[in-house]
Copies of this chain bind each other. A is one copy, B any other.
């Protein structure tokens, strides 16, 4: 069961993450500032004399403004743990932000590669290449029996975590996602809402990721993960078709009203933006709304989140931020 098409009506982004630590240097929670600096230098220097280096930028956390860091968190480039890191830490990001290496987060090195839709192959191949580059000059901490060692044992073994951001408005609208969580746990996966409180996800954005990293090959992890993602996508499609079949009027009305508000409102909060975009994409997937580029619209969401908007648009008061957000989303809709 492989994702030949990237299913990007429902799958937004795939992320492959490989956790590694450097042998003989204490792990981030126990390291000195000097040791932390050594890790940053070792990782950055590993790319010396390689063509890829020109595409990479090293951002030291202590040199980024709080706004820049928050914006990186919003765009899922760095974790809040790295944002708030007390030891010298950094992130290496390439030009199109598909490669992002966190340094001195929970582990010394967290290689992250992003691909569009559900596409583990592209992301995994790229992450493996980066790991190979690093292993040329860095000796990773590894146990003969367990494999790669990590701060948290749940990452040990392969150190590999695959995840995909899925837009599941139909499943979300059933308001009962607990069977989904149980189903995922049975497959060794977790599903969590990316925004919003509790089990109900704001914007219906969920993240599926593998839980088991130990005692299983990397290929097996990817294969099981793809199977789980595909079956979740099928389930979303099934429920979506069923909703449309049983409740065409209400579904059409909800999606079309959201489109009308998105196209016309003077102010839109980031939370509302997520829900409106979610409904419009649901409408596009159900055939209710024509000529919508789901992925362009969903990606634009990340440019209108509070910190990213402020970073890009300068110092705006809260209401002007909501006005600017509405204008940006409206121009994306006009172009799509």
Contacts and interface: CB of A to CB of B under 8 A. Distances in A.
B264 A252 contact: no
Copies of this chain, whole number: 2
Contacts of A252: 266-267
A249 B320 CA distance: 9
A257 B249 CA distance: 21
A67 interface: no
Interface range for A = 10 to 19
A85 B14 CA distance: 71
Contacts of A256: 264-266
A259 interface: yes
Interface in A237-254: 249, 252-253
B263 A264 contact: yes
Interface in A300-336: 319, 323
Contacts of A46: none
Residue of A261, A264, A319 with most chain B CB atoms under a 10 A cut-off: A264
A215 interface: no
A265 B256 CA distance: 5
Contacts of A265: 253, 256-257, 260
A262 B261 CA distance: 10
Interface of A: 249, 252-253, 256-257, 259-267, 319, 323
